[in-house]
Structure formats: structure tokens, C-alpha cells
A and B are shown apart, each in its own frame.
Chain A
Amino acid sequence: MIRGKIRGRWLAAAAALTSVTLLAAGCSGSAEGNDGGDGTSAPAAEGTATDQELVVWAGSQTPITPNFNPYAVGVLHLANGGIYESLFAYNKLQDVDPTPMLAESFEWNEDGTQLTVKIRGGVTWNDGQPFTAEDVVYSFTNDTAKPVYLEDAVAQDESTVVFSFAEPAYANEFAILGSTYIVPKHVFSEHEADSGEDAEGNALQGLVAWDNAEAPVGTGPYMLDTASNAAYTAKANPDYWGGAPKVASLRYVGIDANQSAEDLLTTGQIDWTTMFVPDPERVTSTGGFGYVNTPVDPVVLYTCSNTDLGCEGAQTDVAVRQALDAAIDRSAITEKAFVGLAQPISPTFALLGRDDKWIADGMPKESPQSADAAAAGKILEEAGYTKDADGFYGKDGKPITLTLTSVDGWSDFNNAAKLIEEQAKAAGLKVTASTISWNEFADARVSGEFELIMGGVVGTSLADPFQIYREWFTGDYTQKVGTALEPGEWNISRYDNDEVNAAVQAASETNDEAAKKEAYATVQEHIVSDLPYIPIVVNGTQTFFNTTKFTGWPTEEDMYMFPPSWQGPSSGVVLGKLGGAE
């Protein structure tokens, strides 16, 4: 009864808010109306209060090094979302407005150079200090976190922060509102001079050198309790702005092998984890576990495509890439290599079901599911290739040979690569699948010294493929072959097309849906035919959760947030919603 009531109220509140922000988005620059009533109330916890400890595996391996500094590379999962929160939480799976967290609303000015954010009132840090606009300003302007595109952030009054940019910054909306953690100025400013050592034993100074492992001060639903190198625990923050969490304590454990995690799941010893289980029935058949599969991350063949930047090999010829694309039997790969857990991919890299509105007219919605060897052959013959005695296409008597690598031990990728080798052979293309170590894989990607790699693309965090277009397809996000990509640069294929670059730039400067669609149409037209990444499938993400002990999980019916236990800040939203199931 009580549960239903609270939930109903929250949904109504969310609906009210959604309509308000939708209005604002539809007509950029308009004033964002007052959120009526308790329109910004937090996602309230469901179920009953419980003392049963929630055991989480978020992918940590032993030894665990306690580090709860959101700026550190080795920050532990609890910190991202559980302790530190962002201004808004974006739902990676649905085309909905972001959930307000530490902010209540936001508004862009007309040309996208100013973003005004209203801060939530009445929030306190877990050390009792009030949360203020100054904390927000500090979180964006301290030396460690300040993004290059941000000109300034100013606290206009107690509850308003204004961000200003030199250029239209619509494209950075998610980075600012959805992926920057808000930290307490009164604590963090005291550690700016902390010192340590970097990887080479040189002096390292600044916030990065601080591990924040002693009672981290955050606004989130949980507070750190104990930490060892095998596990760490958290207890509920009684003063959480969204209402005290109903699950009294959490335990994050370190597990070294996937098999162990699966065994612990089937014996009911972990309650929430996101991991690959080829046969999910084995876990859910015990009756105590719920399971959702949320495919978001594209699996592709990276091709080093651009001879201007130093790529070498047959795959630099677009005809070869197109022929390979036509030769792939995606349904066989989905069934055999990805055990039916993957979904069809769109060659436009829009996530099917979520981003359908962004797929331009005339663009293929899905990459073909079956192989078409004849079409592949036709493409090659038109490009001047001829079949040799062995049945392989080539030019000037030299057959096309391509090496397709995948990381040893990623069995789904290895199997898919083997299948592609066979499928290509049927179409007259000589592709040799081989496995490489993780280190070689990482090295090949950043240096660009490869022909074909079976790899992943990070799915975007909101219903818009823009991030993929910019970071994976534009010339600004790549380097010459032999030069390592910088952090944040993902253009592994070295693709550099002036028209695509210009269209992406145009899209970044507007918040108008029609203008964006037009720009995306240009991008899609090029990437669908140039194929610097040959799309294969969208890979599944499997999350398992204990429904006997706890309730409030994201389910197929109510996917209020991206469910993985390792994803911040959304995991914090999930934690805040959990409660005991009776």
C-alpha cells in the first residue's frame, strides 16, 4: 500500500517535470517554468527497510585499493553515484529527460554559450555541512576537473550557477550535467596540495594524488563504512536528500574470475552484478534472481581506413570494406558467437529503439542480417578486383589478405572473428582471424597499427548518437598512425572526412532538432558507405539482481535507469531506490 502510494507520487512528479523540460527543449531559450509542487522530489526508495546486507560485485578484482576520489583513475564504484552525485542522472536506455539529482532544472541561452542551472535546496553533505552553489562551481573549476571548453562557472545566487562557454556547448551538456561529480569544496580544497608519486616515481601533486579513503564526504545515499583489500562496506546516509535509503548496508566485494562470480550468483551469495553469463537461465532458474539484458554498446570491426594518416593494407580501399560488410552473416554471429544476447545494429550507429528519430530518411535502419556473397563480389569486380584460381579476389595477381584480431579470451569476440573468417572466405575474401593479448590490442588501437580488429564502441549515454559521431568519426579526435591517441580520442580508424567534420561541428552548435537531423543526415550518408567501422551487432549487458531479498530494481517494464552495478552515476540512483522485499 505505502509502496504503491509513494511510487505513484514520484511518477506523477516525474511526468510533470518531463513535460516542463520537454517544453524547454522544444523551444530553446525559453524560460524554464517553475516546477510545480514537489516536482523535483528524489526517486524515493521502494519496499521495506531492511538490515540484510546488499552484496554487490561491480567488477573489482583483488586486491582492492581503497580510493574514493572521483578524480582518481582507480576510483571505486561506490564513490561514483553512491557517495558522489551528478547534477542530473541520464537514462542510457530511453529517450526521456534526465532525472534531477543535485540540480532541479537547467536552461541554455539562445546561442548555447551559457547554461543556467538551478541547484537543489536543503541538501547537506554527509558531514553535516550544507551543500551550496559554491560547491558546484568548485567541482567544475578546480585545476583537476576544469574542462577545456568551459570558460567560467559562477554562482549567481544561492541556488543558481551559470556556466559560460566560448563556443556553443550543447554537445557538452551530458558531460557537465550528467557525468561530472559534485564534490565538497570545504574538503577537497584542503587536499589540492597533496603529493604522491606517479607511475615512474616522479613527484605528483594535486587532488589526483589523494585517495580520499577516510570517511569521504559526499551527498549520495551511502557513506563508506569499512574498507579492506578484499571488500568494502557502506552504510545508509540517514540524512540523504532523497530520503534515507531502506537498505541499511552494502558490501562491494572483489572477485578475480568470472566463473567465481557466476558460482556466487547461483548460490545466492551476491545480490547485484553485471557480467556476461552465456546461459542466464542457469542463474534465474533458482528463482531468486531477476535479470535484464540491456544492449547499448556496438561491436564493430575497426578498420585502419585512412592512407593519408598512414594506414596500410587492403582494408584502406573502401570497396574492400563494403564487400566485407556485405559478406557478413550477422544473424549467424548473433546466434553462435553472442549466444542470442546481442541485437541488430544500425550502420548509422543510432541505437535502434532509442534513437530511431535520428536515422535520416533513406538510410538503412539495420545492417543486413544475412550474407550476400554475390553483392560482395560485384562490389569488388566493379572496383577492378579479379578472382584468382583459388577463388580469392585480388588485384595485379596479388590476392587481398587481411588479418582480423581479437583479444584472446574474449570468447564471444573470438568466435565472431572466426565466423567472419569463414563468411569472408565464402565471398572470396581472405581474412585470417587471430587472437592477441589485451596489451597488444590496447596498443594497436591507440597507435593505429592494425588492419582489422574486432572491438567495441562505447554506446552514448543519452538518446543521441552525437558522441559517437564526434569522438569516433571526426578528424579532431584522431592522430597519425604511430602517434598515440589522447585520452578522450576514440577515432581508432583514423577516419577524416571534411564533410563529416563540418556536419558534426554544425550539429554541436545547435539545439534545434531539425538542424541536428540535417547534419546527422550528412554524417550518416558518409559513414554508412565509407564504413570506417564495419558494424556487427549491439552487444548485450546482462545485469542480475536478487528479487527475493530486495525490490526496486530496474526491470523491462520500468527501466527507470541503466541497471549495471558498475555504471556511475546511475548506480547511485538505483541504490537510492532499493528496499527490502518484505
Chain B
Amino acid sequence: MTGGPPGPPVTRTTSTTTPRRHDEEEPHARDTEGRPETMKFYARRIAFYAVTLWAAISLNFFIPRLLPGDPFSILMAKLQRAGGIPAGTENSIRLLLGAAEDQTLWEQYLTYWKNVLTGNLGVSVTNFPTPVTELIGDALPWTLGLVGTATIISFVLGIGLGALAGWKRGTWVDSLVPSTTMLQSLPYFWVALVLIFVFAVSLQWFPIIGAYDVFHFNGPEWSWAFVGSVLYHAFLPAVTIVISSVGGWLLGMRNMMVSTLSEDYVTTAEAKGLRPRRVFTTYAMRNAALPSLAGFGVSLGFVVAGSLVMEQVFTYPGVGKLMITAVRNNDYALMQGVFLVITLAVLAALFLMDLIYGFLDPRTRHHD
């Protein structure tokens, strides 16, 4: 899945689409006959997403079962490494995993659908007996809080600096482009390890693990000290994410900015004698940011997947961590649960972007 940081899915270097001008409205005639057309567009979209959803949820069931190994043998190997199976636990393993062979794949598939529709995602084997919904429920706030915030910071920073770099093309600001893209090309976990080594181990300014001080608090609580601890612990992980994803946004924005600046309406605005600041924000930046916004919508959907490497390196209790655990242990229920949530989030984000685009740009509503 997404091994790297949540960032722009594709780095755009050039763009041929011409941003629309706000004062150039479409002919009015289209609006009257556009109604059924619009309805058809939305119906088509909804049908498309329904089919995608069905396919995704079905794949979600089958893919984990294609993995080599079965939970039973993995559990056994794991227990052996942890010092052998204590007397008495053997029976438990049989009880816990023994029933799996009684059902055919088809029966399991039907049960799975029934469970998905009733919101019962099953019980995790690795975290027995916690229900999968509870595990995901515990992990989601941390992931959304940290990865979500870091993604937004990275986007805002990237767009802002990218716009500036495009605006002041050729000056020192432009040198941001190679330096940030270099940062992005560094292996993600390596950045995290270096940050930890320097700031957490050598200087000891920041903590090494956790979403809060696990050596002090006995669990989440409502107090200012706890909130402070959470923010303090989120700093290094957030910096890691920002460092390794800001470059993509910056580069895309800068290049869009450059091509937007060569548009006629910008020249017109400048010729009208508008203040450069106004030309920069209202004319150039606003239009140049449109394609990046689309990418941002998708990366927000992927925020739910968490950040595998970051969560592993910082022992951060997010969804990505659950996913690794589930895949390593062939914990089908947990795997399905996590994949389901990610699939739903990404599809929802895409659907929303589709609708918004259909709304913003009438051209996309036309099939041919």
C-alpha cells in the first residue's frame, strides 16, 4: 500500500489545461437543457461508485486470503520465538483458530457481506479479544490528528512557497525547488531515524516514542498536561511527514504558477495597473492552485491509511500500524477492517472531488 508519506499523487511539471476565468461565463442557453444532463451525470457517477465499492469490498475479502501462510502457523512460529508455548495455551490455539476449515470460501464470503452490512468487522486474532471496530476506533483519531494536520501543513506550505517560487522565478526563492525535492527523495524512514538520533537521542529535546508520555500517563486523559504531551510528541513525526512531502506540492505549484503567469489575463491585469500583490493572489495563485487542490482531496482520503513507516518508527498508535500488524500475522478480520475503512475513505474523497469538480466545471458533466 502507501509506503511513503501522504503527498501529491503525481508531480505535475507542465499543464496544458487553461484555467478558466471567473468573468467568462458559459452561454446561458446551456442551463435550460442542462438539467436532465446534470441528473444523468450524477446518476452515472453514483452507479460507477456503487460498482467500484462492491468490487473493492470483494477484493478486500479475497486478497488477504491469497497471502501465503495461515494465521495458525504464523501464530505458532511467533509463540515459538517468544520462548515456547506454555502448557495450557495449546488448547486455546486450537479453539481460537480451529473452526476455520469448516466453512467454504463462498460461505465465508456471504458471512463477510452480512458482517460488513451490520457493521460487525469481527475480532482481531493478534489483539484477541478486542473487536476490530474498537481497534480502528482507537487508532483513527491519532492518525487523523497527526497525519491529517501534517498533510494540511505540508499542502499549505508547499502551495505558498511554490507560488512564491513561481512568482519570483529566477531569484533565490527558486532554489527552494531543488532542495525540497531532494528532501522528498530521501528515504522516508531514514529522515525519521536521523531526526530521532539528533533531536531525541543526542540532544534529548524530543521524545523517542509514543503519541504521549507513556512513561507518565496511564492512558489518555483530559488535562492540559496531557494535551501538551500530545503536541510535544507529535512534533517530530509531523516534521518527518512535512519534510518528505512538501517538495511535491511545491514543485507542482511552482510550475503551474509559471504557466499561469504567462496567461493573457495576468498580462491584462498587470496592464490595468493592479498592485502586484493583487495580481499574485487573486489572478495567478488562485488559478494555479486548482489542479493541486484535486490532488489534495485524494491525499486527504489516504490520510486514513496513516503513515506506515512513521507510525512504526515512532511507535505511534495509528491505523498504518494496525495494517502492518494485521498483514504480518494474517489477521484477516483486522486486515479487512482496515482496508475497508481506507477504501471507503478514498472512495468518499474521490466521489466528493468528482461532485465538486462537476459543480465547478460544467465541462466535466458532459459525457462526450
Interface residues of A (CB under 8 A from B): 53, 55, 59, 61-63, 65, 67, 70-75, 80, 144-145, 147, 175-176, 179-181, 196-202, 204, 206, 208-209, 211, 225-231, 233, 251, 253-257, 259-260, 263-264, 266-267, 269, 437-443, 445-447, 456, 458, 461, 484-485, 487-488, 490, 564, 566-568
Contacts of B130 in A (CB 8 A): 65
Chain A interface: which of B4-12, B41-49, B92-100? B92-100
A197 touches B122 (CB 8 A): yes
A255 interface neighbour in B70, B98, B315, B332, Cβ under 8 Å: B315
B313 touches A198 (CB 8 A): no
Contacts of A61 in B (CB 8 A): 315, 325
Whether B211 sits at the interface, judged by CB under 8 Å, is yes
A461 touches B87 (CB 8 A): no
Contacts of A179 in B (CB 8 A): 86-87
From 72 to 91 in chain B, residues with beta carbon under 8 angstroms from any chain A beta carbon are 72-91
The docked-state distance in angstroms from the alpha carbon of A490 to that of B115 is: 36
B193 touches A259 (CB 8 A): yes
What 0/1 pattern do residues 181 to 224 of B give for CB contact below 8 A with A? 00000000000010011001100100011111011001110000
With A55-B215, A63-B139, A263-B200 given, name 14 new contacts (CB 8 A).
A62-B321, A65-B124, A75-B89, A199-B123, A202-B99, A209-B129, A229-B138, A231-B218, A253-B214, A260-B314, A267-B201, A269-B215, A484-B72, A487-B76
Q: Which residue of chain B is the closest to A146 with respect to CB atoms? A: B91
Contacts of B76 in A (CB 8 A): 442, 446, 485, 487
A257 interface neighbour in B69, B95, B313, B317, Cβ under 8 Å: B313
Whether B71 sits at the interface, judged by CB under 8 Å, is yes
Q: Considering the complex of A and B, which 9 residue pairs feature the smallest CB-CB distances, nearest first?
A: A228-B219, A439-B69, A443-B69, A442-B77, A226-B218, A65-B127, A446-B73, A145-B88, A256-B315
**Subset of 5 A-B contacts with CB under 8 Å:** A67-B129, A199-B333, A230-B219, A263-B197, A567-B83
The docked-state distance in angstroms from the alpha carbon of A174 to that of B94 is: 22
B209 touches A264 (CB 8 A): yes
A229 touches B92 (CB 8 A): no
Contacts of B80 in A (CB 8 A): 456, 458, 490
Centre residue among A199, A490, A568 by max chain B CB count within 10 A: A199
The docked-state distance in angstroms from the alpha carbon of A59 to that of B311 is: 17
B333 interface neighbour in A201, A456, A566, Cβ under 8 Å: A201
Centre residue among A63, A227, A253 by max chain B CB count within 10 A: A63
A63 touches B332 (CB 8 A): no
Q: Which residue of chain A is the closest to B334 with respect to CB atoms? A: A199
Q: Which residue of chain B is the closest to A175 with respect to CB atoms? A: B87
Interface size of B by CB at 8 A reads 81
The docked-state distance in angstroms from the alpha carbon of A147 to that of B90 is: 9
The docked-state distance in angstroms from the alpha carbon of A333 to that of B76 is: 27
What 0/1 pattern do residues 217 to 236 of B give for CB contact below 8 A with A? 01110000000000000000
Whether B103 sits at the interface, judged by CB under 8 Å, is yes
A263 touches B84 (CB 8 A): no
Contacts of A181 in B (CB 8 A): 86, 88
Contacts of B29 in A (CB 8 A): none
Contacts of B89 in A (CB 8 A): 70-73, 75
A144 touching B328 in the complex, CB below 8 Å, given contacts A263-B208, A487-B85: no
Q: Which residue of chain B is the closest to A233 with respect to CB atoms? A: B218
The docked-state distance in angstroms from the alpha carbon of A209 to that of B76 is: 19
Q: Which residue of chain B is the closest to A488 with respect to CB atoms? A: B90
Q: Which residue of chain A is the closest to B312 with respect to CB atoms? A: A256
Contacts of B331 in A (CB 8 A): 199
- Minimum Cβ distance to chain B for residue A270 (Å): 9
The docked-state distance in angstroms from the alpha carbon of A206 to that of B92 is: 10
The docked-state distance in angstroms from the alpha carbon of A196 to that of B333 is: 14
Whether B268 sits at the interface, judged by CB under 8 Å, is no
B96 touches A62 (CB 8 A): no
The docked-state distance in angstroms from the alpha carbon of A145 to that of B81 is: 22
A70 interface neighbour in B79, B88, B100, B124, Cβ under 8 Å: B88
Whether B68 sits at the interface, judged by CB under 8 Å, is yes
Whether B126 sits at the interface, judged by CB under 8 Å, is yes
The docked-state distance in angstroms from the alpha carbon of A73 to that of B82 is: 12
The docked-state distance in angstroms from the alpha carbon of A266 to that of B128 is: 33
Centre residue among B73, B97, B333 by max chain A CB count within 10 A: B73
- Minimum Cβ distance to chain B for residue A467 (Å): 9
What 0/1 pattern do residues 320 to 361 of B give for CB contact below 8 A with A? 011001001011110000000000000000000000000000
Contacts of A230 in B (CB 8 A): 210-212, 214, 219, 317
Whether B111 sits at the interface, judged by CB under 8 Å, is yes
Interface residues of B (CB under 8 A from A): 67-100, 103, 108, 111, 115, 120, 122-130, 135, 138-139, 193, 196-197, 200-201, 204, 208-212, 214-215, 218-220, 311-315, 317, 321-322, 325, 328, 330-333
The docked-state distance in angstroms from the alpha carbon of A230 to that of B315 is: 9
Contacts of A145 in B (CB 8 A): 87-88, 91
Q: Which residue of chain A is the closest to B91 with respect to CB atoms? A: A144
- Minimum Cβ distance to chain B for residue A11 (Å): 27
The docked-state distance in angstroms from the alpha carbon of A80 to that of B317 is: 25
Contacts of B135 in A (CB 8 A): 63
- Minimum Cβ distance to chain B for residue A173 (Å): 11
The docked-state distance in angstroms from the alpha carbon of A233 to that of B97 is: 30
Q: Which residue of chain B is the closest to A206 with respect to CB atoms? A: B95
The docked-state distance in angstroms from the alpha carbon of A477 to that of B73 is: 15
A208 touches B95 (CB 8 A): yes
Q: Which residue of chain B is the closest to A75 with respect to CB atoms? A: B89
Q: Which residue of chain B is the closest to A256 with respect to CB atoms? A: B315
Contacts of B139 in A (CB 8 A): 63
B138 interface neighbour in A63, A72, A180, A256, Cβ under 8 Å: A63
Contacts of B128 in A (CB 8 A): 65, 67, 72-74
The docked-state distance in angstroms from the alpha carbon of A256 to that of B237 is: 14
The docked-state distance in angstroms from the alpha carbon of A416 to that of B85 is: 27
B218 interface neighbour in A59, A180, A209, A228, Cβ under 8 Å: A228
B122 touches A201 (CB 8 A): yes
B127 touches A63 (CB 8 A): yes
B100 touches A199 (CB 8 A): yes
The docked-state distance in angstroms from the alpha carbon of A184 to that of B321 is: 36
- Minimum Cβ distance to chain B for residue A170 (Å): 15
A201 touching B120 in the complex, CB below 8 Å, given contacts A229-B138, A263-B196, A439-B67: yes
Contacts of B211 in A (CB 8 A): 230
The docked-state distance in angstroms from the alpha carbon of A548 to that of B312 is: 30
A229 touches B218 (CB 8 A): no
A200 touches B86 (CB 8 A): no
A226 touches B208 (CB 8 A): no
Q: Which residue of chain B is the closest to A203 with respect to CB atoms? A: B99
The docked-state distance in angstroms from the alpha carbon of A441 to that of B70 is: 11
Q: Which residue of chain A is the closest to B92 with respect to CB atoms? A: A208
- Minimum Cβ distance to chain B for residue A215 (Å): 15
B88 touches A180 (CB 8 A): yes
- Minimum Cβ distance to chain B for residue A318 (Å): 26
- Minimum Cβ distance to chain B for residue A236 (Å): 17
Contacts of B208 in A (CB 8 A): 260, 263-264, 267, 269
The docked-state distance in angstroms from the alpha carbon of A71 to that of B90 is: 9
Contacts of A206 in B (CB 8 A): 95
A442 touches B86 (CB 8 A): no
B72 touches A488 (CB 8 A): no
B219 touches A226 (CB 8 A): yes
Q: Which residue of chain A is the closest to B120 with respect to CB atoms? A: A201
The docked-state distance in angstroms from the alpha carbon of A70 to that of B92 is: 10
- Minimum Cβ distance to chain A for residue B135 (Å): 6
The docked-state distance in angstroms from the alpha carbon of A206 to that of B88 is: 13
The docked-state distance in angstroms from the alpha carbon of A175 to that of B201 is: 43
Contacts of B322 in A (CB 8 A): 63
The docked-state distance in angstroms from the alpha carbon of A199 to that of B351 is: 33
Q: Which residue of chain A is the closest to B315 with respect to CB atoms? A: A256
A487 touches B93 (CB 8 A): yes
Q: Which residue of chain B is the closest to A255 with respect to CB atoms? A: B315
Contacts of B321 in A (CB 8 A): 62-63, 256
Contacts of A564 in B (CB 8 A): 83
Centre residue among A175, A438, A567 by max chain B CB count within 10 A: A438
B214 touches A445 (CB 8 A): no
B69 touches A442 (CB 8 A): yes
